[in-house]
Structure 1
Amino acid sequence: MDINKILNADILDIIFEGRNKEYGAYELRKTYKKRLTTAILSMVGVCLLVFVGVLLANVVKSDKPVQMLVQDVQLADVKQEEKKPEPPPPPPPPKVEPPKIEITKFTPPKIVKDEEVKEDEKPPEQEKLEETTIGTINQEGEKSDVVAPPVEQSTGVVEAPKVQAEDYDKEFKTVQIEAKFPGGAAAWQKYLQRNLNSEAPVENGAPPGNYTVIVSFLVDKNGNISEVQALNDPGYGTATEAIRVIKKGPAWTPAVQNGRNVIYRQKQSVTFQVAEG
């Protein structure tokens, strides 16, 4: 195709340039738009015809009078089934009382004079006891092989529980009232301060510090002191000095347990202080 004709030529002519245009493909492509337009218009026409037909049909129907049919409906009588009365419950079985058993009252044996024995308190004969049941009442009935045990009669007196006797001669470690120095704790502190040789550890070369001795001793029922011993010994003569002072002390007020004086184990701590020189 010439250069001058290309600008004005159809795209279809350019594609089929130099090809067989009578084969059919050229003709189909060239008439494609025309056929598409014809198909669309035909479809639109068919749709319009259908729409108009439906519209006319509705108009024709609307011209006819509308009739309503009303019918009387009668409800059938439904009969409910009558409840049958429930049968009465069966009567309870008759109460069968157990047969009475022959019982002979047991009378505890007592040694009394013959004229003091009442008729109803006489003990039954031994042969009769072997053939009857022993109980607390007299009752007539059938004989049974079971023999009831005799019932002990209560006297109505309740004995108090026996309390084990306290041994007041033993050494007590806990008491109701502890032993005490005459005049109380304050007097005991004064006694120790006045009689202890506080220089005892210094005299024995103790270095600065506190030295505590725990002394144990007995206070008997009369308040006398015995068995004085040190439970520990820090050394430097502290234990010996504490024992000496407690041994030479006066009698104490004894400890009390259940209102009675008892032997009591007393403990006392004594502290010696050595200051730096």
Structure 2
Amino acid sequence: MDANKIKSADILDILFDGRNKEYGAYDLRKTYNKRIRYSIIGMITLCALLFVGSIIANNAPKEKKAEVVVDMELAKVDEAKKPEPPPPPPPPKQEPPKVEMAKFTPPKIVKDEEVKPEEEIKEVEKLEDTKIGTINQEGAKDEGIVAPPPEKGTGVVEAPKVEEDYDKVFTVVQIPASFPGGASAWIKYLERNLNRDVPNDNGAPPGKYTVIVSFIVSKTGAISDVVAENDPGYGTKAEAIRAIQKGPAWTPAVQNGRNVIYRHKQSITFQVSED
């Protein structure tokens, strides 16, 4: 480089004098300040946009959100044993028939006036049909037939068993009907199939709206007769019935080892909040 140009030359020109400036290093160092300046301006612009966007999002009107709360109710099993009826009283004790008996009096020589009537020796002719014993007793003549001994009862008479009607609709059973997979699978099914926005779409104010639904689970697990016992409004009753009618078959209830018809009761709560 000429000595006259050194005073006015840039440090990069002096550094790269006589070298290949097209290689790339020269251009990178030459434009370094410009690129730094553009990067700082771009970062400031991006931060400003994010800041303004957050302010706009916080000031925007909030929409109402609806949630579905499923209240699981388990049927209460009446495990308390019913008091058994008292056994009937034992039959009256039958005493064997009395047989005429004459007291045996050993012979003893005494005066006639000292003989007591009960100690008087009976004549042999009068004792043919009479048993000899230790007392005098009136009764039937002894005909040589021994009366059977009275039967001894146990004193316990079993009450007749009442056959249960297994074709009726049960509300209390030993094993209630259940959704396939258990309670957790039932909750997941309702969360996926219930339209939780129904009360919000129908203008329901914030709050909870509980629908009590009952339905029949047959001996094969089929669902039928789905009815709502109340109606909180805003379309919640129809939506709860629709979701249950759409569901699969259940595991039937069991009573005494048999599948029975069971009416299950379920409460479903729609919750509308401001957040």
Q: Scaled by the length of structure 1, what TM-score is found?
A: 0.46
- Choose 1 or 2 for highest CA Rg: 1
